[in-house]
Amino acid sequence: MGSEESLEKKGALVSLPKHSYWFDFWLFVVFDIAFFLVMYLIVP
């Protein structure tokens, strides 16, 4: 479902400076956890 969006984000972040790598990593982790919590609360 969200794989296409993540691919687009990674493609756009390639053009950014390398110092944004960790920001991208933590943003992805937080987004992943938030998505998991939302699905965990909505699906049941």
The pLDDT tens digits for 1-44 are 444 455 455 555 555 555 667 788 899 999 999 999 999 998 87
pLDDT of residue 10: 54
- State both tokens at 37: 């919590």
Within the chain, what is the greatest distance between any pair of CA atoms?
41
**pLDDT (0 to 100) of residue 21:** 74
pLDDT at 29: 93
Q: What share of the chain is helix, strand, coil (3-state, %, to 5)?
A: 80, 0, 20
* Separation of alpha carbons 16 and 14, rounded Å: 5
**32 is in which domain, residue-wise?**
3-42
Is the CA virtual torsion 40, 42, 7, 22 positive or negative? negative
pTM across the whole model? 0.45
Q: How many domains does the chain have?
A: 1
